[in-house]
């Protein structure tokens, strides 16, 4: 089975985001595999172990993404692919990433493609579905369970706190939701083996694409941090007086009653 995982390099979830000249400041920041993509990597490895085949992790970005791809190899993926578009695309968006990924995957005869439900930095959840649309294959998002029987697939997906069961067929793209599995930590033997596993690098020129083909469809106008929280108020006096003051504040300041 040919299994591909779409992987993104994102800020560590513990990082404090700062801005510099209207952009997110990456200096000195720690980066990790997007947490939802970790579920995708883990599920891909488990499926390969049952059904056979190969797991290939693919990332679009710059050379800094190599570390996260190597981590996926250490987890158990078989091969990594980095598509470095840094020198060709100044400001890409979800369309850019999806277009490049679809171009790479077009002739790969992928049976199953997995990605994270969303990336924790942008949170759009657009890239994986866009890839499926460009490849002309079905997709199911926010999955919490997947069973494969030959070419038939049964998927359970999260829908606003409930769940939905879908039957479909391969080839298929799915996006992983929290609860799908528990991603493994790379072991020391896995880290050592990862150094010898295939690692391919491509640039935009390696595909039948030019800058106009992958030009962003959206433009970020402004980036800003949310306003700082104001200090809370402690109400004083008798309970009845506190209740009256609370109701007044909810009406006049919070404007919720």
Residue 215, exposed/middle/buried by CB under 10 A (0-12, 13-18, 19+)? middle
With a cut of 90, say whether residue 208 has pLDDT above it.
no
Over residues 112-130, mean pLDDT: 93
Q: Which two tokens stand for residue 178?
A: 């929290």
Extents of the domains making up the chain: 2-214, 227-257
pLDDT in tens, 212-247: 999 999 988 888 888 887 778 888 899 998 999 999
* Residue 16 banded pLDDT, cuts 50, 70, 90: confident
Contact 112, 135 (CB under 8 A): no
Cβ contacts of residue 79 below 8 Å, gap of 6+?
A: 54, 55, 56, 57, 73, 197, 198, 199, 200
pLDDT in tens, 150-186: 999 999 999 988 999 999 999 999 999 999 999 999 9
pLDDT of residue 219: 87
Cβ contacts of residue 218 below 8 Å, gap of 6+?
A: 93, 94, 95
pLDDT of residue 145: 98
Helix, strand, or coil here: 164? strand
With a cut of 80, say whether residue 190 has pLDDT above it.
yes
pLDDT of residue 174: 98
> CATH fold of 2-214, please?
Rossmann fold (3.40.50)
Over residues 123-132, mean pLDDT: 94
With a cut of 90, say whether residue 22 has pLDDT above it.
no
Q: Please list the residues that pair with 38 across neighbouring strands.
A: none
pLDDT of residue 231: 79
Range with the poorest average pLDDT among 11-15, 94-98, 207-211: 11-15
> What is the rounded CA–CA span in Å between residue 44 and residue 4?
8
What percentage of residues in the chain have a pLDDT greater than 90? 70
> What is the rounded CA–CA span in Å between residue 196 and residue 38?
21
pLDDT in tens, 53-71: 999 999 999 999 999 999 9
Q: Please list the residues that pair with 3 across neighbouring strands.
A: 55, 112
The phi, psi pair for 200, rounded to 5°, reads -105, 145
pTM of the model as a whole: 0.87
pLDDT of residue 213: 92
Range with the poorest average pLDDT among 66-70, 85-89, 92-96: 85-89
């Amino acid at each position: 089975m040919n299994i591909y995982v779409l992987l993104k390099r994102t800020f560590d979830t513990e990082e404090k985001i700062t801005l510099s000249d209207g952009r997110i400041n990456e200096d000195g920041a720690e980066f990790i595999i997007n947490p939802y993509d970790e579920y995708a990597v883990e599920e891909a490895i488990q499926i390969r172990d049952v059904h056979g085949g190969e797991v290939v992790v693919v990332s679009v970005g710059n050379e800094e993404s190599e570390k996260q791809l190597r981590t996926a190899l250490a987890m158990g993926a078989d091969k990594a692919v980095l598509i470095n578009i840094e020198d060709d695309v100044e400001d890409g968006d979800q369309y850019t990433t999806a277009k490049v990924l679809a171009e790479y995957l077009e002739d790969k005869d992928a049976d199953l493609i997995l990605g994270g439900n969303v990336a924790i930095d942008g949170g759009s959840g657009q890239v994986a579905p866009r890839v499926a649309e460009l490849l002309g294959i079905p997709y199911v998002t926010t999955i919490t369970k997947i069973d494969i029987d030959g070419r038939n697939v049964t998927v359970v997906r999260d829908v606003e706190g409930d769940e939905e069961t879908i039957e479909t067929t391969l080839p298929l793209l799915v996006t992983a939701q929290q609860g799908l599995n528990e991603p493994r930590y790379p072991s020391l033997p896995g880290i050592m083996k990862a150094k010898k596993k295939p690692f391919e690098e491509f640039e935009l020129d390696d595909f039948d694409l030019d800058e106009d083909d992958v030009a962003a469809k959206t433009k970020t106008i402004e980036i800003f941090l949310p306003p700082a929280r104001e200090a809370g108020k402690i109400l004083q006096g008798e309970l009845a007086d506190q209740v009256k003051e609370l109701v007044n504040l909810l009406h006049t300041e919070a404007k919720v009653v």
